[in-house]
Chain A
Amino acid sequence: MIVLGIDTSGYVNAVGLADGTRVLADVAFPAKTDSLEQIVDNIDSVLKSAGLSLEDIQGIGVGLGPGSWTGIKVGVTVGKMLAFSADKPVAGIPTLEALAYAARKKSLFIYAVINSGVGDTVYAARYHTSKNGVSQEGEYFTGSIKDLVPLINEPVLLVGGDIKRYRDIILKENPLIRNKVKALEALPSGAAVACLAAVRLARGMKDNPLSLTPLYLKESTAEVFINKYKVK
């Protein structure tokens, strides 16, 4: 099953292709503020390089975030409307899971970490890896990177963008875990999204393209304000 994977949650337009869990293509196009402008061209160029067209693929994987709020709205909308228009099954994949999946062979436990764009606040999740995949342990984490420190008990690999800086903050909080915490710099990967989507779709776990929504993990400032106000 050939699956197209896209993820625009970060500072790249990640586009990949996988045949089942075999990676056919994985390209990260730089896209700081122009992910909307580029994304369809990026998809087209990855398909063409592989000698394929949209009709040739059997499914679409979409990175749901968390990450840039604007980025994930663009990626999820493009993913869902391509799936709806081309009548292809679609699977939404949390970007944190795709980050962990791409690094699964490097550590038994992985913390995937994504910058929230506000100070040291991060989105994170912990994954237990196996040869074939990853499984999330516990809930998603949204908070200061420092608050992750008490949660680190066994050797763990931190995966994500700007990750060495996060490792330094963690080690400054608790130097005793120096040997337990490794860091791997990684961008979202379209191929990882495609592989995870291929696995899900092969099991019949497709999403309804119309109801597919981003994984924000954080309310907008207005929602935070109004909910606080209501409590008072």
Chain B
Amino acid sequence: MLILGIETSCDETSAALVADGTKILSSAIATQLDLLKKYGGVVPEVAARRHTELIGYVIKEALDKAGRTLDDIEAVAVTSRQGLISCLMVGVAAAKSISYAKNVPLIGLHHIEGHIFANILSHPEMPFPHVCLTVSGGHNMLVHVQEKCRYELLGTTLDDAAGEAFDKIAKFLGLGFPGGPVIDKLSKPGNPEAFSFPRPMIKNKSFDFSFSGLKTAVINMFKDKIARGEKLPLPDIAASFQEAVVDTLVAKTLRAVEMKDLKVVSVTGGVSANSRLRQVFTETCKRKGIKVFFPDLSLCTDNAAMIAAAGYARMMLGERSDLRLNVFPNAPLGG
């Protein structure tokens, strides 16, 4: 079954063709890096206007790259839940129009389910059940993935997502946007133990996260150093901050795996591309005899291939959306 996936929940306009939920025939992603740099972050109305301009071109590019036409498409899968409302609407408007004009089934999906499937798409052999950590600028969840499309939400962020903390710290330090890759790079020569930043809620029994206090601690320390006229070892600050985030994410995830008595961890989302996060997860899991999986780098950030893969799995369960499909910016993962 050939599925066209469409994803416009935040600031990436994306379309992809995926066969049988496993084989990516093409993926087209238009990022809005120029707008991010101009505005220092995602402005919903600005992002939605860009989606409206690009959506047709991106879908056409996905078709052309795969050497297919819309006549070959057997279903359309689209992100309809969780994200920026005006951005989600553009993707859903496009998806339902194609579904109607081509008389093919439509399925609306939760953005986070897409990220869970990004790793299943990268590693078809990944066993179920497993614990999945989704971590990006917009979300930060721990999910018990019981089987395909069956989820138990264990925890989520109470304020900032980890990626958001990366972005805000990078912005504060004047390092640019997006913050994840620049801090990752800057941290390489830095000493992660130079500063002792808090590991927020690391001892808390819940599986929820909170990164806004850590962000404040970094900013306060920075201001304090400036006030005293001290030197600012940026690589050390970046590395110490990154280490605090990584420690927290790894500790909470492993506790969830142990609580569920499982041996498999899936880490997905934009921050799963972070090299230090991958290293610490890999080392810690190896010690504990746990298998850890990360998506291909191209599937870490928002993309439509993961939406098509999730759509395929849902359709195999007999699910369909009708042409009245609407968007739900704050919908729970469900499942």
Contacts and interface: CB of A to CB of B under 8 A. Distances in A.
Contacts of A223: 46
A13 B212 CA distance: 43
A139 interface: no
A209 B56 contact: yes
Contacts of A82: 97, 100-101
Interface string A69-94: 11001101110111011100000000
B326 interface: yes
Contact of A85 (B57, B70, B90): B70
A70 B326 contact: no
A133 B55 CA distance: 33
Interface string B316-330: 000000011111000
A54 interface: yes
Contact of B101 (A34, A86, A216): A86
B56 A36 contact: no
Given A73-B52, A220-B49, A81 B38 contact: no
A56 B95 CA distance: 21
A58 interface: no
A42 B32 CA distance: 33
A116 B56 CA distance: 27
B258 interface: no
Majority SS of interface residues in chain A?
A: helix
A36 B92 contact: yes
B52 A38 contact: no
Interface residues of A, number: 35
A214 B51 CA distance: 12
Nearest to A77: B93
A54 B52 contact: no
B60 interface: yes
A214 B45 CA distance: 13
Contact of B94 (A41, A70, A81, A222): A81
B72 interface: no
Contacts of B97: 40, 77-78, 81-82, 85
Pairs of residues from A and B, 9 with the lowest C-beta to C-beta distance, nearest first:
A85-B101, A81-B97, A210-B56, A77-B93, A220-B45, A222-B43, A37-B326, A86-B101, A40-B323
Interface of A: 34, 36-41, 43-44, 54, 69-70, 73-74, 76-78, 80-82, 84-86, 209-214, 216, 220-223, 226
24 contacts: A34-B326, A36-B89, A36-B92, A36-B93, A36-B327, A43-B100, A69-B48, A70-B48, A73-B52, A73-B89, A73-B90, A73-B93, A78-B93, A80-B56, A81-B94, A85-B98, A210-B56, A210-B60, A220-B43, A220-B46, A221-B45, A222-B43, A222-B45, A226-B39
